[in-house]
């Protein structure tokens, strides 16, 4: 068998719209196709650039919606045709990741896959690669390895992983067992977790042998696993893929990988966690986007948008400009202004999570043109 790192294959599920970033994120311009850090790269491209040095361009698979094929291919010219998996419609993370696993395990039975969201922001590439490397070795030892992020503040927007004993895995010295997953806490709990030191943020990064992932899925969702394996068997032959998708896709259950695999595996003692000391953010809403772009300094105003023209006086928060209009802010603190050609959002950091309710209201009123 080849060394573990040579069997590693990255999977990038690029599915979510990012409703809490409306009206910047839209069905046809989801979060992962935006540059949210002013780096000049979309989040998807930055994810690719972070993973390509690990296994090379030929060992990255992207799972995305059919509607995003052209945008994804244009962002990732190095993406091989056989490594883009197009979803007939969105089916949540279990289908995206397990289908990739099932396709890849047919190409290489010993493949180790790592799944990394297309729309998170990470800095500290060396630390990231070091954590992935340890996770690959833990995966090679039979674990499903999560990379958990060392908390730097009492965040209430993330789930947590409670760390248990050291696992003493060769070449994965910081791998620990996982006691359990914890849902997003309130502030008091988040402060406890931070003080305790034994909790990591769940960054939804899972590294595992593909066969182990499918085996775990089979324990909790045997029908879903069977359907995915059947679909994967038809995938690589153009003659069989279409009919299989038509037949099987509509039956696939929508369930997050945390519930179908990660939490049950943790409970069964088959989950390892590697602490990641790199900076990570899932950019879940405009409050975190503001923080990310001001370095967390509350009095600063972040300005995103290539052609942004902002006149600000005694104002802080974030302006996202997708038009060429002049935007004047006077005396507004922690403000969120998102200016797009057909929709304008004005809120504050405090209410950033409620943006989703606007999206829901637009859905209900049939304003799909704005979604």
32 HSE (CA, 13 A, CB side): 26
Q: What are the residues whose beta carbons fall under 8 Å from the beta carbon of 258, sequence distance 6 or more?
A: 93, 159, 181, 202, 204
Binding segment for its own copies among 46-54, 71-79, 99-107, 358-366 (CB under 8 A)? Answer: 358-366
Q: What are the residues whose beta carbons fall under 8 Å from the beta carbon of 98, sequence distance 6 or more?
A: 213, 214, 217, 224, 225, 228, 257, 260, 261
- In the complex, the smallest distance separating the C-beta of residue 358 from its own copies, rounded to whole angstroms, is 5
Integer Cα distance of 350 and 158 in angstroms: 16
Among 3, 223, 350, 363, which residue interacts with its own copies (rule: CB under 8 A)? 350
- In the complex, the smallest distance separating the C-beta of residue 334 from its own copies, rounded to whole angstroms, is 10
Residue 1 as a binder of its own copies (CB under 8 A): the answer is no
Residue 305 as a binder of its own copies (CB under 8 A): the answer is no
Q: How far apart are the first and last CA of the chain?
A: 48
Residue 355 as a binder of its own copies (CB under 8 A): the answer is yes
- In the complex, the smallest distance separating the C-beta of residue 291 from its own copies, rounded to whole angstroms, is 18
Residue 363 as a binder of its own copies (CB under 8 A): the answer is no
Integer Cα distance of 293 and 313 in angstroms: 18
Q: Work out the number of other CB atoms within 10 angstroms of the CB of residue 329.
A: 18
Residue 182 as a binder of its own copies (CB under 8 A): the answer is no
Among 11, 112, 261, 337, which residue interacts with its own copies (rule: CB under 8 A)? 337
Residue 130 as a binder of its own copies (CB under 8 A): the answer is no
- In the complex, the smallest distance separating the C-beta of residue 331 from its own copies, rounded to whole angstroms, is 4
Furthest C-alpha separation in the chain: 64
Residue 360 as a binder of its own copies (CB under 8 A): the answer is no
Residue 311 as a binder of its own copies (CB under 8 A): the answer is yes
Residue 75 as a binder of its own copies (CB under 8 A): the answer is no
Residue 327 as a binder of its own copies (CB under 8 A): the answer is yes
Residue 33 as a binder of its own copies (CB under 8 A): the answer is no
Residue 169 as a binder of its own copies (CB under 8 A): the answer is no
Integer Cα distance of 206 and 311 in angstroms: 44
Integer Cα distance of 41 and 36 in angstroms: 8
Place of tokens 């966690």: 273
- Residues of this chain that bind its own copies (CB under 8 A): 23, 311, 313-314, 325-332, 335, 337, 339, 341-348, 350-351, 354-355, 357-358, 361-362, 367, 370
């Amino acid at each position: 068998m080849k060394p573990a790192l040579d069997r590693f294959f990255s999977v990038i599920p690029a599915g979510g719209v990012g409703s809490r970033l409306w009206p910047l994120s839209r069905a046809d311009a989801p979060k992962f196709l935006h540059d949210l850090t002013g780096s000049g790269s979309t989040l998807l491209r930055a994810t690719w650039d972070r993973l390509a040095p690990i296994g090379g361009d030929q060992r990255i698979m992207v799972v995305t919606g059919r509607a995003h094929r052209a945008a994804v291919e244009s962002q990732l010219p190095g993406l091989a045709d056989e490594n883009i998996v197009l979803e007939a419609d969105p089916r949540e993370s279990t289908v995206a990741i397990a289908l990739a696993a099932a396709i890849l395990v047919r190409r290489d039975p010993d493949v180790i896959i790592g799944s990394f969201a297309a729309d998170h922001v990470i800095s500290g590439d060396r630390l990231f690669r070091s954590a992935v490397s340890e996770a690959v070795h833990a995966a090679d030892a039979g674990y499903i390895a999560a990379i958990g992020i060392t908390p730097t503040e009492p965040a209430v927007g993330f789930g947590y992983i409670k760390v248990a004993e050291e696992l003493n895995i060769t070449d994965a010295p910081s791998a620990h067992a996982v006691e359990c997953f914890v849902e997003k806490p309130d502030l008091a709990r988040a402060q406890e977790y931070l003080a305790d030191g034994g909790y990591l943020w769940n960054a939804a990064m899972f590294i595992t042998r593909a066969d182990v992932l499918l085996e775990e899925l089979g324990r909790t969702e045997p029908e879903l696993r069977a359907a995915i394996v059947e679909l994967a068997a038809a995938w690589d032959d153009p003659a069989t893929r279409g009919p299989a998708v038509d037949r099987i896709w509509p039956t696939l259950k929508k369930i997050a990988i945390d519930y179908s695999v990660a939490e049950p595996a943790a409970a069964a003692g088959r989950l390892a966690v590697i602490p990641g000391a790199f900076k990570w953010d899932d950019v879940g809403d405009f409050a975190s986007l503001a923080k990310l772009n001001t370095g967390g300094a509350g009095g600063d105003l972040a300005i995103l948008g290539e052609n942004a023209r902002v006149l600000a006086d005694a104002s802080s928060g974030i302006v996202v400009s997708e038009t060429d209009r002049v935007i004047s802010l006077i005396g507004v603190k922690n403000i969120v202004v998102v200016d797009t050609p057909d929709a304008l959002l004005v809120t504050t950091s405090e209410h950033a999570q409620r943006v989703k309710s606007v999206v829901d209201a637009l859905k209900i009123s049939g304003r799909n043109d704005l979604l």
